[in-house]
Structure 1
Amino acid sequence: MSDFDLVDIEVTHESADDVLYTDLGETSESHLHTVQAVRLQAGQPDSELRSLKQLDENSVKMLEHQVDAAYRALFEMDGKALLADEVGLGKTIEVGMILKEMHFRETNDSVLILTPAQLAKQWQAELREKFGLEFVCNYDDDFNGFDSHDYIIASIDTAKSDRYRQAVLKRDWDVLVLDEAHYVKNEETDRYELIDQLRYNYAFFLTATPIQNELTDLYNVVSLLRPGLFGTRDVFHQYFINSDQETLVNRNELQDRLNKVMIRNRREDTDVDFTERRVDTRKFDPSPAERELYQAVSDYVKGAYSQDQGQKLVLMLLQKEVVSSPEALETTIRKRLDDQSELTQTEELESIIDLIDNIDTVTKQERLLDIVEEARENVEKGRVIVFTQFRATQRRVAERLASEGYTVHSFHGGHSSQEKEDIIESFEEQGGILVSTDAMSEGRNAQFCNILVNWDLPWNPMRVEQRIGRIHRIGQKRQVYVFNMALKDTVEEYVLERLYHKIDIFQQSVGELSEILTRLEESGKSFEDEIFERLVNANSEVDLENNFDAMAVDLQEQRDLAEKLEEFNSGVFEGFDLGASDD
C-alpha cells in the first residue's frame, strides 16, 4: 500500500442535508469521518511534492503560491479542496501539479475532469504539454464513452446528458476535477445533481468566484465537496449570517471550517509580477456616408422601440451592428425584411439598405491597417488578435487583411473543438492576425500574443475584460497593448468615454467587474439594457450626454457598494476582520 492510499470509508452525498447540528461548535467523532471523507495513510511524512523534480522547467514555471496550494490540497485537506484563487493565478497549473503527484504515487487509477465545453481541449493540451499527462477528451475521435477510458476530460454538459449520465455515475472514480465550480451553485440544476451523485475518492473544485450573489453559493459548492461540513442550509444561515446578510457572526468558526477545504490566493498576496497593460482608445470621424447611415439606423431604432417593446433585442442588435460593419447590419436588416408579417416600416429598412450601398470605404478597416502594420514592423511575427461581435464583420475584416498580404486566421463558435485548437496553434506558429468573435473570449490562453484590438465593443464590460484576459495573464512576458476602436459621436464613443473610462474598467479584474455588474443587475436590468434605454429615450444630444453621465454616477455608486461587498467577502475568506465581535 502506498503512502497515499485511503482507509476504507464510503461516503454518500445524499446524506449531507440530513446532518443536523444542535451546536455547530461541537462535532461528533462519527461526523468527522463523514465530513473529511477520505484520509491519507500515515506512512512516512511528506515534506514535498516529489514529482515536481520530474517537470521540465521550460514547460511549466512553478510559482510559490501554486506549489503551496497543491501541497495543502493533497496533504492538509486529505485530497478534497476548493481552489479559489483569483482570476489569472493559475488554478489549472495547481491541478496539474496535484495530478502529477498522484500519478507519481500511483493513486489515480481513474480521473474525470469536467469543464465548460470550450475549455476541454485546452485542459487536455496543458496537461499533456506541461505535465506529460495523457487524457482522452470527449471531443476526440477515439473517445468511446465514459466506461472505456480511465483518464477523461469532458464537458459537464456531455457528462450529464441522457446518452452518458448512467455510465458516468456507474463508475467509482479515484479523482474528480470540476472546473468553474460556480456553475453548480444552484442545487436545482442537472449539473448540481450529477456532481451530487458522483462517487469519487478525491476531488478538486476550481472557481475564482465562490461567492457570486450570496453566501449560499459558497455553501452549495462546499457541501458538494465536503458533505456535512456546514450542516444543513437552514442551520448554516442561522449560525453564520444575521437576518439582513450584511454582517457575519461566529466568524472564527466559519473560518475554521473553510480552512479545511478552501485555498484562496489573491493577486496582491502573491509574488506574481503581471506585465503592464496599456490601453489606447482610437476614435475616428466616420465618413459622411457612414454618419448618414448611423443616424438613419438610430432614428429607426428609436421609432420602432417606441411602437413595439417586443422588438428590443433586434433593435439593440441593429444599434450595435451599425458601428461594427455595413455587412453585419445588412445581414440583420435583410432577415428582418424577409419576415414581412411583423413589419410596418419596410420603407425605412429599404432606405437603410440603399444607404449601406452608398458606403465605399469603411473607416475602421482603413484605421485597423495602421495598427496591424505597426505590429508587423515592431513585434515578433506581428501577432495581433482582433475581436468583433459579429460573423459578418469578421469575414469582411479577414478578407480585407488578407488582401493586404497579412497571414489571417479566423476563429468563431462554428468551428469544432479540434478546429479551434488547430487555429490557435497555427496563429502561434505562423503569426499574423487572428480575427475572432467572442467565442474565444473565455478560458482560452494566448499569452504568446500581446496586442489586442477591440474592433467593436460589447456593451457588457465583463466581456471586454474576458477578451483582454486571453493575453494578459500568467505567462505573459511582455507589455500588453489594447486598442479600442470607436466612431465619434456614436454609442461606441459614449460607452467608452462616459462609462468605461470613467469607472476605469480596463484596470479592474474580472472579479471586481463581476461585483459591480451583480449589484447593478439586482435592480432587474442588465448593463446592456440600461445603455439601450438611455440611448433610445434621449431626445437630443444633450439629453444623451446627460443620460450617460447619470449612468456613470450610478456605476460609481455600484462600485462603492461592490467595495463594501469585497470587504464582506474578505471577512469570509481572509480572517473575518470586520470590526464586529462574534455573537
Structure 2
Amino acid sequence: MSENILTIRDVAELLKINEKTVYKLVADAKIPGFKVGGSWRFDHATISRWIEKETALGIDSLETDPNDRATLASAYYSPEQATFFAHRLTLEGTGEDALAQPLSTARVHMNPHQVDAALFALASPLSKGVLLADEVGLGKTIEASLVIAQRWAERRRRILLIVPASLRKQWSQELYDKFSLPSVIVESKTYNAARKAGLPSPFSQTDKIVITSYEFAALKHAEIARGGWNLVVFDEAHRLRNVYKKDGSLRAKRLREATKSYFKVLLTATPLQNSLMELYGLVSILDEHQFGDEASFRSQYVTGSSAKTGLISLRKRLESICKRTLRRQVQQAGLIRYTERLPLTWQFEPSPDELLLYTDMSGYLQRSDTIAFGSKPNPLVMMVLRKILGSSTFAVADTLARIIDRLKQMRPANLETVSDYDVIDEDSEELGDDDDGEELDADAPVDLRKLNAEIAELEGYRTLALAIGHNAKGIKLVEALPRVLDEIVDKGGERKAVIFTESVRTQKYLADLLSANGYENDIALLNGHNNDPGSKRIYQDWLARHKGSDAVSGSKTADMKAAIVEAFKNDKSILIATESGAEGINLQFCSLLVNFDLPWNPQRVEQRIGRCHRYGQKIDVVVVNFLNLKNHAEQRVHQLLDQKFNLFKGVFGASDEVLGVIERGVDIERRIFEIVQNARSETEIDVAFDQLQDELQAQISEQILDARRRLLETVDEKVIERLKERDSEIGKRLSDFDRQLLCVARAELPDAHFHRDNERRFDFRGETYTTEWPLADEKGWKFFRLLEGTLATDLITTAKERSFDAPSYLHFDLAAYPGGKLADVERLCGKAGWARVGKLRIETPSVTREYLVISVVADDGIAVDPETFERLLRVPARNEPVDTSLPDEQLKVAAKERCKALLDEAEQQNVEWLDLESEKLDNYAEDLERAFETEIKTIEAEIREAKRALRGSSLKMTEKLAEKRRISALESKRDKFKGQFFDRRATIRADVEAMLDQIQESLKLEPEYNDLFTIRWDVQ
C-alpha cells in the first residue's frame, strides 16, 4: 500500500472483507478513481473518509461468501443500459411482448385463460373485432380490461364501453382498482350537465374511458357514430342477438350501425341461445363480411340441405372471431380451484300483525281505483313497492310516509317515492322509464272525500307498520346467525357474514337489531350513499391510514367502498349491503352470504353470490335464503331461482346456459311482478309460475345446448395444454419485465437504496417502492409500475430521451448479477468487443412494430448472438471513456443485416394476416354466390313442380292458360337471374379484390432506423 494511492486489495485488507464485495461497494458509492494496467486506484484521503462513514453505518457486518448475491443487490447499471431497457419496455408491437406492460400494471392475479383471450383479441391488426365467450365466472371483464389497458398503453385512448345500466359503476371501479384506468359514466344527467358546461359532445373524452348504457348509447347513436373510437366493448352482448331480424331490436340496429367502422370486443357467455341465426346476428355486429347475407347463412347452416354437415365449416369460420373457454377446462388445468356453494334455507312465519299488513297492503296495490297510482300505475314503482312490502315493516312505514306526503300535495307516487330501493335509477333506465312524477291535473275533478279516505287508509297501514316492533324474519336472523358463524369457523373460515337487503331502511333496521344483540361494534354498512356516522368514521380513519399511498383514488365513492370493505376484512364481522353498494366489490375472505331480501332478478342474485364465491375463496360458501311460510309467491320465486336457475348450490352456481336465456334480468323481474300483482289465489300463482318455468325450459333445450358445444367448445386436452404453457409464459414475461424496469431504476436513481433481501424493492426519498402489487397495497408502499404520473414512467421518459455523443466502455461483472445463472452469457467471460444498439420502427397504417437492433463484434471474431448480448445488458456494469478505435463499418453491416431480417419477418407476418383476410373474403363471396345460385335453384324447382302438377290437372282452359303464363314468367325470371349470375359474381369478386387491395395498402411497410448508442464491452 503506497502512502497516497490505494488499490481494491488495499481497501479489502483495511475492511477485512473480500475484494469483490469491496468492488461493488466502491462502485455503488461512485468513488472517483483511475485505472492503471487494468487495476483500479483510489486517492487515500477520499477512501479514508468513505471508510469512516461506511464503518459508522455498519459496513463491517457485510462480510459474506463471494457467491452470496444478497451482498451484491446494489449493483450498478450504466446510462446506456437504462436507455436500452427503457426502449425495450415500451416497444410498440404485437403479441405477448406488447402485452407485458399492461400485465405488469394490473392489480389482479391474471389467469392464463384471460391472457389467452386478450392475445386472441389483439392477434391481427386487420381484425374488425372478436367475440369473447368464456363461461360465466371466468372473468371476461378482466379479459376486456386487459385489451383496454393495451390500447391505453399504445395511446389509442378513444375507448367506449356499452354495458347494462346496472353494471356501469362496477365497470368503472374494476378499471380503476385493477388497471388504474380512469373512466367517466355518460348518462342522462352527466350528459346534460356537460352540455350546459359548454362541452358540445360529452362523449368526446380524451383522457377517460367512456362508459354508457345500451339504452343511452342507442339514444345518442349519431354521436356514437362520430366518436372516432379506437375500441368499443359491448358487455352482455347477447342483448344484440336479434339484430339480424327485419323487425328486430331498433336499439341493436342503431348500435350496429353506429359502431360498424370501429374495432369491437363483444362479451357474452351465451353467443348462441335459441338459434344459430342469433350467432349470425352477433357476428354481423363485428364484421359484415365474415358471412354473406342472412339468406345465404340460413340456407347453408340452418334450413338448407347442407345444414346438417355445415357445422364443421361454420366452426372453422368462427375460429378467428370467437373464443370460448370453459370452467371445467380451467379447473382441470389446475389454474383455479373452485369451492362449492352450500344452500341453507331459514323458514319463518310472520306474526299476525305482519301478515295483516302484508295482506291489506297487497290488496290496496292490486286495486285500479287508487289516486296514488291510478288506473295506469308506473309498473316500476309498483314492482319496487311489492319488494319493499316483503322486506321489512320499517321499510314499509317509511315508504308509506312518502306516498301520503305526495297525496297531500296532490301528487301521485313516483320513483322518488321508492328511493329507499337504491338501484331504482338503474332499473328505471334499463326499463326505459322516464316518469317525472307530474302533479295531478288541476283542472280534473278530484273527489276530495275519496282522496281523504285514501290518505286515512294509508295512514292506518303506516300506524300498523310502526306498531310492529319486531319482524319474524329479523328474529330468525338473530337466532340462527351465531350457529352458522360457528360452523364457518369450524371449517377454517373467518367469522364473517355479508347480509344483503334491497332496502336502505331495512339495512338500518338490521344494523340496529344486530347491535342490540351482541354485534354493536362489529357492523359495517354499504349502500349507494354511506352518509351514516359509522361509515364516515371508517372513511376518515382509512384516509388517514392510507394518506399519500396509491390506495387513495380521489373518488369518494370508490374510496368509501374500499374503506368499508377493508374495515369488514380487518375489523368487522358483519357487512350489511344493498345492491348498489355491493357492485364491484370482492369479498372472497367471507364465506357466509345471507339474502335477507331475495331479488327477483336472477342475474342480481348471481352477482351477490359472486362477491364471495369467486377465485380466491378458500372454503365452501354458505348461501342463506329466508322462506316465508305464509307467502306462496315468495316460495315459488325461491323455487324458480333454486331449481331452474340453480343459483344456490354446486361448484359453478348458475350455468351460463340458464342465465343466458335472459336478455335482461329486469324482464324476469317484470314477469314475476305481473304474477304477484295479478294472481288472487295460490292456484293462480302456481299456474303462472309453471307457465314461466315451461317457457324458460323451452329456451334451453338439449338440441340447442348440443349445437353450442359442437360449435364453440374446443377439446379439453388441447385447451388444458395451451393454458399450462401460457401460465409459465406469463410468469417468465412478468419477471423479465420487472427485472428490466428495476435495471432502469438502479441506473437512474443513484441515491436509491435497493433492499439486499429482495431485489424487487427499493427506498427513495422516504418512500418504499416495489413491483409486488399486493404487498404494496398491504404495506402502504408505492407500486412501481409504468403508469402516467408515476416515478417509473418519469424514469423511462428520462432514459429514452437521453442521447450519447460518443461510445463508452462498459465492464460487465457477472458476479454481481442478482438474477440467477445466465449460461450463454457466461461463455463471454474474459471476452471483449464492440456493440451498437439501434431502434427499427416499421410503421403501416394498420400496425406499428418496433425492434431493438443489436449489432455485436467480438475481438476474437467469434459471432455473438444478439439475444445473448441482450441478456448481457442485464448484468451490472461500470463505464468509462473508450481508448480504442471503433469498427464502424462492421457494426453498420451487422445492423443492416439484422434490419433486413426483421423486415422480412414483418413482411411474412403481413402475408399471414393478408391470407386470413383473403380467405374470409373468399368465403364471403362464395356465400353470396351460393345464395344467388340457391335462388335460381328454388325457382327451377318451383317450375318443375308446377309443370308436373299441370300435366295431370283437370283445370279449365282459362285456368290452365293462367298457370302456363305464371310458369312462363318464372322461366323468364330464372333466365334473367342466370344471365345476371356471371355479372353479379364478377361484381362480388371485384368488390372483394378492391377490399384486398385496400388491406394490402394498409400493410405497406415504412421502416425507419436510428442508432441509440455504441459501446466497447468486456465481461469479467
TM-score, normalisation: structure 1: 0.72
Q: Equivalents in 1 of 2:669, 2:103: separation in Å? A: 50
Partner residue of 1:412 out of 523, 528, 531: 528
Q: Equivalents in 1 of 2:222, 2:364: separation in Å? A: 49
Q: Equivalents in 2 of 1:236, 1:413: separation in Å? A: 50
Q: Given residue 483 of structure 1, which amino acid in structure 2 is its aligned partner?
A: V
Counterparts of residues 470-549 of structure 1 (less than 5 Å): 470-491=611-632, 494-495=635-636, 498-503=639-644, 504-507=646-649, 508-509=653-654, 511-514=656-659, 526-534=671-679, 536=680, 538=681, 544=682, 547-548=685-686
Q: Given residue 426 of structure 1, which amino acid in structure 2 is its aligned partner?
A: A
For 2:315, the equivalent position in structure 1 comes to 255
Matched, 1:459 2:615: no
Q: Equivalents in 2 of 1:204, 1:420: separation in Å? A: 28
Matched, 1:135 2:182: yes
Quick check: 328-337 or 354-363, which moved more?
Answer: 328-337
CA contact (8 A) 2:524 2:575 kept: yes
For 1:10, the equivalent position in structure 2 comes to none
Q: Equivalents in 2 of 1:456, 1:334: separation in Å? A: 21
For 2:503, the equivalent position in structure 1 comes to 390
Q: Equivalents in 1 of 2:623, 2:397: separation in Å? A: 28
Partner residue of 1:114 out of 161, 168, 183: 161
Q: Equivalents in 1 of 2:620, 2:106: separation in Å? A: 21
Instruction: Quote how far apart the aligned CAs of 1:488 are.
Output: 2.5
Task: In structure 1, list runs of 5 or more residues that go unmatched.
Answer: 1-42, 539-543, 577-582
Q: Given residue 297 of structure 1, which amino acid in structure 2 is its aligned partner?
A: M
Instruction: Quote how far apart the aligned CAs of 1:359 are.
Output: 0.8
Q: Equivalents in 2 of 1:158, 1:298: separation in Å? A: 32
Count of residue pairs the alignment pairs up: 520
For 1:267, the equivalent position in structure 2 comes to 327
Task: In structure 2, list runs of 5 or more residues that go unmatched.
Answer: 1-90, 244-248, 411-445, 532-553, 716-933, 935-1020
Counterparts of residues 42-441 of structure 1 (less than 5 Å): 48-49=96-97, 51-52=99-100, 55=103, 59-75=107-123, 79=127, 80-99=129-148, 107-116=154-163, 119-120=167-168, 122-127=170-175, 129-131=177-179, 134-138=181-185, 147=204, 149=206, 152-156=209-213, 160=217, 166=223, 169-170=225-226, 172-185=228-241, 187=243, 189=250, 193-194=254-255, 196-198=257-259, 202-211=263-272, 214-242=275-303, 250-271=310-331, 272-300=336-364, 310=376, 313=379, 318-334=385-401, 336-337=403-404, 339=407, 346=454, 349-370=458-479, 383-401=496-514, 404-412=520-528, 418-431=555-568, 432=572, 433-439=574-580
For 2:705, the equivalent position in structure 1 comes to 566
Deviations 1:302-358 (A, max 9, x none): 67699x975694666555433311132234445555548596873654443342233
Q: Name the SS of the counterpart of 1:481 in structure 2.
A: strand
Q: Given residue 395 of structure 2, which amino acid in structure 1 is its aligned partner?
A: A
Q: Given residue 506 of structure 2, which amino acid in structure 1 is its aligned partner?
A: T
Quick check: 344-353 or 261-270, which moved more?
Answer: 344-353
Counterparts of residues 9-48 of structure 1 (less than 5 Å): 48=96
Instruction: Quote how far apart the aligned CAs of 1:234 are.
Output: 3.6
Cα 1:189–1:267 change in 2 (3 A) is: same
Q: Equivalents in 2 of 1:492, 1:435: separation in Å? A: 25
CA contact (8 A) 2:499 2:575 kept: yes
Q: Name the SS of the counterpart of 2:700 in structure 1.
A: helix
Quick check: 381-390 or 83-92, which moved more?
Answer: 381-390
Q: Equivalents in 2 of 1:520, 1:408: separation in Å? A: 28
CA contact (8 A) 1:389 1:458 kept: yes
Q: Equivalents in 2 of 1:437, 1:523: separation in Å? A: 20
CA contact (8 A) 2:323 2:712 kept: no
Cα 1:44–1:354 change in 2 (3 A) is: closer
Instruction: Quote how far apart the aligned CAs of 1:282 are.
Output: 0.7
Q: Given residue 468 of structure 1, which amino acid in structure 2 is its aligned partner?
A: I
Q: Equivalents in 2 of 1:516, 1:181: separation in Å? A: 13
CA contact (8 A) 1:494 1:548 kept: no
Q: Equivalents in 2 of 1:572, 1:419: separation in Å? A: 46
Cα 1:446–1:234 change in 2 (3 A) is: farther
Instruction: Quote how far apart the aligned CAs of 1:90 are.
Output: 1.0
CA contact (8 A) 1:411 1:420 kept: no
Cα 1:410–1:165 change in 2 (3 A) is: farther
Q: Equivalents in 1 of 2:255, 2:122: separation in Å? A: 24
Instruction: Quote how far apart the aligned CAs of 1:56 are.
Output: 5.5
TM-score, normalisation: structure 2: 0.44
For 2:995, the equivalent position in structure 1 comes to none
Q: Which has the larger radius of gyration?
A: 2
Q: Equivalents in 1 of 2:221, 2:665: separation in Å? A: 39
Over the matched positions of the two proteins, sequence identity in percent amounts to 28
Q: Equivalents in 2 of 1:109, 1:550: separation in Å? A: 52
Deviations 1:187-244 (A, max 9, x none): 554575355334866432222233455444433332222222122234333433229x
Q: Name the SS of the counterpart of 1:470 in structure 2.
A: helix
Q: Equivalents in 1 of 2:661, 2:226: separation in Å? A: 42
Q: Name the SS of the counterpart of 1:278 in structure 2.
A: strand
Q: Name the SS of the counterpart of 2:576 in structure 1.
A: strand
Instruction: Quote how far apart the aligned CAs of 1:264 are.
Output: 1.4
Q: Name the SS of the counterpart of 1:62 in structure 2.
A: coil
